[in-house]
Amino acid sequence: MEMSLLVIFWYGILHAFGPDHLTAIADFSIGKNRRKTLFITSLFAIGHGLSLFLFAKILERVSISKDILGYGDVISATVIIAMGLYLLFMVFTNRIQLRKHMHKNKEHIHIWFGKLHEHNDDTVAKTSSLSLGLLMGAGGVRGMLITLGAVQGGMVNFTMVTAFTLGVMLVFGAFGMVMLYVNENFLGNLTNVRRAFATAGVISLAVGTNILIG
């Protein structure tokens, strides 16, 4: 069983390197501090693992063709494209804002979506990252079931999904730290912030479209 969990953990690491996942992490991590970045990436990983677990349990009891499972990739691609369009809309309608202030002799930068006088919190981003992880988990069902079938006769239990989720979380957290470095060193003014979100939006559209036509 220990070897099986190790295989699943490693598969979670490999699975997390998918361009759709890293694109989603980038979209949600831009402009966030260390605590918020780690929290959001962890929620995304947890949502991803839960989704895979639920789908796998359903598919243990219901016979569904591989063609139908392939629609999970369509869901993932659609979500990524929608995120890209949303970010580009925010950029071109000037709804991305930045404000600086000093706190305990240290400069703090706040970035938010909305009008200049509005300063919303990250509740929406946190909830969305969990929901997005749940939705995009559908895109990995087919590959995960193949892996589970190879190591455990196709049976799925919560321990195995936990191992998978930890592997995903490791990569997402590491990539979140890369995004944190970008936030701290390159997003010190509103022009760069809007350029970063525009770049993320274009990449999201490209990645999502490539999945659909691939």
Task: Give me the residue spans of the domains in the chain.
Answer: 2-213
Find, among 135, 20, 172, 23, the residue nearest to 87 by Cα: 23
Express each pLDDT in 154-183 by its tens digit.
566 778 778 888 888 899 889 988 988 888
Neighbour count for residue 67 (Cβ, 10 Å) = 7
- Rounded to 5 degrees, what angle do the CA atoms 59, 61, 64 make? 45
CB 107 within 8 A of CB 41: no
Express each pLDDT in 186-209 by its tens digit.
888 888 889 999 999 999 999 989
> Of all helices (H) and strands (E), which one includes residue 29?
helix 19-29
3-state secondary structure of 113: strand
- Alpha-carbon distance of 120 to 111, in angstroms, equals 9
- Spell 132-146 as b/e; 16+ CB within 10 A means b: bbbbbbbbbbbbbbe
Express each pLDDT in 25-62 by its tens digit.
888 788 777 788 888 888 888 887 777 777 767 766 76
CB 148 within 8 A of CB 155: yes
DSSP assignment of 56-88 equals: HHHHHHS---HHHHTHHHHHHHHHHHHHHHHHH
Percent of the chain clearing pLDDT 90 (strictly above): 8
16 phi, psi to nearest 5 deg: -65, -20
> In terms of pTM, does the model score above 0.85?
no
